Amino acid sequence: MLYALKIAARYLTANKGQTALLVLGVAVGVFIFIFMSALIGGLAEFILSRTVGDMSHITIQAETVDPPLLIAPDGAVLVASERGETRTATLSQSATWVPLIAAVPGVKAVSPQISGAGLLARGAQSAQVSVTGVEPGNESAILDLDGYMVEGSARLASDGIILGQKLADDLSLSLGQTLRLQSSDGATILLTLGGIFLTGNGAMDDGRAFVSLSTARSLFDTPQGVTRIEIKLDDLNSADDIALRIRALTGLDAVPWTDGAEQLMEALDAQAQTGIFLKTFALITIVIGVASALLLSTYRRRPEIGIMRAMGAGRGFVVFVFVMQGGLVGLMGGLSGAVLGYLALLPFPSRDEFRAGTLPMDITQGSYGLAILLTVIGAVLASILPARSAARVDPVTAIGQ
Amino acid sequence: MSALLEVRDLVKTYGSGEAATRVLRGLSLRLDTGEMAALLGPSGSGKSTLLTILGTLMKPTSGSHVMLGQDLIAAGDRELTAFRNLHIGFVFQFHNLLPDFTALENVIFPTSVREGRETPAARERGRDLLVRMGLGDRIDFPSANLSGGQKQRVAVARALMNSPELVLADEPTGNLDRASAMQVMELIGQINREEGTTFLISTHDEKIAGFCRRQIVVGDGLVTG
Ligand SMILES: Nc1ncnc2c1ncn2[C@@H]1O[C@H](COP(=O)(O)OP(=O)(O)OP(=O)(O)O)[C@@H](O)[C@H]1O
Ligand SMILES: [Mg+2]
């Protein structure tokens, strides 16, 4: 109905000021919708990246094998223990599993690791450290070491070690110095300080040391396999599903990050609910605004509606004229609100640069299309009531008044 | 001459109960093709009521209404809308034009609403009609800015747009000065003579009535002369 559209457009342009106000009102509603989407989405992103961003999304930990119990005939309980086996269990076949896991769709990175406790010493000073051996070239697979480096490089040389800044400060270390690292097993290795990082996480900056996987092998006497496999995903939210697949694929106990993170999930959920609530209110405001403006317009145009009906315009035509007005207002308000929202979000730091203290608005999560679509639908629905009342105008009384 | 329309025993009662007003009390009337008739009668006698019923904008309380062989009492809203569009033109006293549209857009409305768009052919005919009404220089003028007489002439052009058999005019010159009123009536008379369009025009003005060959007088809800 091109002709009804023309009349609708004419009605809107005939009262430019009024239409502009109405469109502005709708745009503000859309703006709020987009702002809320970006804020709630950004907040979730921010909270997740702060809490799980640097974490393994799925972790496979070697199970500590309980030493077998032997019951002696006299009733005494004996523990059979072999040296090495009590200390750490290993995932002995990691070499086969790692490529298998890496091939699972949705897996971004796989990091086989050997970890243990150690004593770091330089001269007379020493400190307890938790040592993680990772594959050189794969240092930033889970924790973004590269991004946290303050000195040196995250790239591990075979005799290299990377430390947190606090630890380096405590021991007054500087790049290139040689350190002695002694494992809890008693093995000692000399390493060169190749980089210093600062993550903002105290325990990490204070007591973590990264070495190459081969260094960790000799340090912890693990010639085969690894103690832990950490997996990073493209999408955090697919952890449960992918963990199941990995379990089915390897038979290993793959644990998604969501295990034990129920409170966090609940908090995020509540936050998302709040967002939906506020967005719904923004939409309701739009619907009420459009409905009341159009209702007023149908009242003001009663004589004209009567004329059109007398000239042979059917009820459906009249309905169409007013529904089109609603649709046009929704479209214009939706588009301008989306543009306004986008412009307003531009100054905020991008999602990779969220900082504490600023609103973590994520411009990519503005739901612009959805906002426009829902607004148009809402405005069209809002116009149905006025349109129907317009179609019911009695030409006789309308023209006679 | 053949009958264009015929109404018989029209009764129209407004309201109900104690407030009921019986305006038409069994009125019968026949109009033939090509007639030019004036509808006279005191204020409140039911002239507008009759025109509204003849224009299918309202149904009588009882009575029959046949035009062009069609029983318009039995017809539904959709049929009547289409019927009006094709066969009946209207000129009202007030609120005649769509103020946000130009003179031409107003004139071609009856065709555009039927065809779903404004066609070049409709524009052509609309322009011709406006030129004929002496409004060649006001074709694309916003209708809200036209003078009263000009508005009524645009309304006459619009009433003729779909070449209807019948044009109903309710005091079309009621709020015009004498010169404009005469101009509008002359145009109506000219169309009637040249195209054979039937006109029924209600008026209080004897001079206006003088333009018409037939005078129909309504009183007491009946045709009295
Ligand atoms: N919608 C209505 N409800 C109730 N009464 C009505 C209605 N319309 C008209 N009437 C009454 O019907 C009677 C006839 O009205 P109508 O408008 O047909 O008269 P008219 O002959 O056109 O008068 P005028 O010359 O003043 O235009 C009047 O008494 C009027 O008050
Ligand atoms: Mg009247």
Single-letter amino acid code for the residue at A259: D
Per-residue burial over A270-291, b = 16 or more CB atoms within 10 Å of its CB, e = otherwise? ebeeebeebbeebbebbbebbb
CB-based contact B95 A303, cutoff 8 Å: yes
Chain A residues within an 8 Å CB radius of B116: 1-3
Residues of chain A by 3-state class (helix, strand, coil), percent to 5: 55, 20, 30
Contact B57 A313 (CB under 8 A): no
Find the residue in A nearest to B112 (Cα): A3
CB of B144 within 8 Å of a chain A CB? The answer is no
Q: Whole-angstrom Cα distance, residue A180 to residue A192?
A: 9
* Claim: this prediction has a pTM higher than 0.90: no
Terminal-to-terminal C-alpha distance of chain A: 29
The residues near A228 (Cβ < 8 Å, ≥ 6 apart) are: A59, A60, A61, A62, A91, A112, A113, A114, A115
Question: Which H, E and C letters describe B69-93, residue by residue?
Answer: CEECCCCCHHHHHHHHHHHEEEECC
The closest CB to that of B90, out of A310, A313, A398, belongs to A310
Nearest to A360 by CA among A369, A374, A350, A370: A350
Q: Which two tokens stand for residue A51?
A: 């809490």
In whole angstroms, what is the distance from residue A327 CA to residue B213 CA? 52
Indicate the Cα dihedral angle B128, B134, B135, B136, nearest 10°: 60
Rounded Cα distance, A9 and A161, in Å: 71
A9 phi/psi in degrees, rounded to 5: -65, -40
Res A89: pLDDT: 66
Handedness of CA B192, B194, B195, B196 (dihedral sign): positive
Q: Is residue A348 within 8 Å of A358, Cβ to Cβ? A: yes
Nearest CA to ligand 1 atom 29: B44
Stretches where chain B sits below pLDDT 50 are: none
Which H or E element spans position A106? none
Tell me the shortest Cα–Cα distance from A394 to chain B, in angstroms. 8
- Ligand 1 atom showing the smallest separation from residue B41 Cα: 21
DSSP codes of every residue in A236-247: GGGHHHHHHHHH
Structure tokens at A148: 């946290």
Q: At what angle do helices A16-48 and A315-345 cross, to 10 degrees?
A: 50
| Protein residue with least CA distance to atom 9, ligand 1 | B49
Give backbone dihedrals phi and psi of B56, rounded to 5 degrees, phi first.
60, 20
Among the partner-chain residues A14, A317, A398, the one whose CB lies closest to the CB of B100 is: A14
Considering only CB atoms, which chain B residues are within 8 Å of A303?
94-95
User: Quick one: pLDDT at residue B32?
Assistant: 95
> Chain A partners of B118 at a C-beta cutoff of 8 Å?
3, 6
Residue A304 forms contact with B (CB below 8 Å) = yes
- Which of A306, A313, A400 lies nearest to residue B113, judging by beta carbons? A313
Dist CA A357 CA A279 (whole Å)? 24
List all residues 6 or more positions away from A157 whose beta carbon is below 8 Å from its beta carbon. A136, A192, A194, A212
Q: Which atom of ligand 1 is nearest to the CA of B19?
A: 4
And the tokens for A103?
A: 């091939």
In a mutational test of the B interface, the residue from A16, A311, A399 whose CB has the highest number of chain B CBs within 10 Å is A311
ipTM of the complex as predicted: 0.93
From the CA of B170, how far away is ligand 2's center (Å)? 7
Residues A289 and A22 sit within 8 Å (Cβ to Cβ):
yes
pLDDT of amino acid A86: 41
Distance CA A304, CA A301 (A): 5
Please give the Cα distance from A213 to A112 (Å, whole number): 8
Q: How far apart are CA A136 and CA A114, in angstroms?
A: 13
The whole-angstrom separation of Cα A289 and Cα A277 is 18
Chain A residues closer than 8 Å to B86 by CB: 312
**pLDDT score, position B143:** 95
Give the C-alpha separation, B209 to B171, whole Å.
11
How does strand B36-40 pair with strand B214-219?
parallel
Question: How far apart are the C-alpha atoms of B86 and B80, rounded to whole Å?
Answer: 10
Exposed / middle / buried, residue B74 (Cβ in 10 Å: 0-12, 13-18, 19+) = exposed
Q: Which ligand is nearest to the CA of B44?
A: 1
Q: Which residues contact A66 (CB under 8 A, 6 or more apart)?
A: none
B168 exposure class (CB count in 10 Å sphere: 0-12, 13-18, 19+): buried
Q: Is B133 exposed, middle or buried (0-12, 13-18, 19+ CB in 10 A)?
A: buried
CA-based nearest distance B183→chain A, Å: 24
CA of B151 to the centre of ligand 1 (A): 24
Q: Is B165 left (phi over 0), alpha (psi -120 to 50) or beta?
A: alpha
Kind of pairing between the strands at A107-122 and A178-183? antiparallel
List, for chain A, all residue ranges whose pLDDT scores fall below the cut of 70.
64-73, 75, 77-89, 354-356, 401
Query: Pocket around ligand 1: residues whose beta carbon is below 6 Å from it?
Result: B 14-15, 21, 23, 41, 43-49
Distance CA B197, CA B30 (A): 15
Q: Which of residues 80-139 of B touch A (CB under 8 A)?
A: 81-82, 84-86, 90, 92, 94-101, 109-110, 112-118
Query: Nearest CA to CA, how far is B89 from chain A (Å)?
Result: 7
Cα(A59)–Cα(A36) distance, integer angstroms: 34
For A312, the closest of B48, B100, B113 (CB atoms) is B113
Segment B65-123, tens digit of pLDDT: 999 999 999 999 999 999 999 999 999 888 789 999 999 999 999 999 999 999 999 99
A11 contacts B118? CB cut-off 8 A: no
Decide if A370 contacts A341 (C-beta within 8 A).
Answer: no
Tokens of A7: 């009349």
Q: Put residue A51 in one of left, alpha, beta given phi > 0 → left and psi -120 to 50 → alpha.
A: alpha
Q: Would an 8 Å CB–CB cutoff place A263 in contact with chain B?
A: no
Residues of chain A in contact with residue B85, where contact means CB-CB under 8 angstroms, are 311-312
Distance, CA of B150 to CA of A232 (rounded, Å): 79
Would the CB atoms of A2 and B117 count as touching at under 8 Å? yes
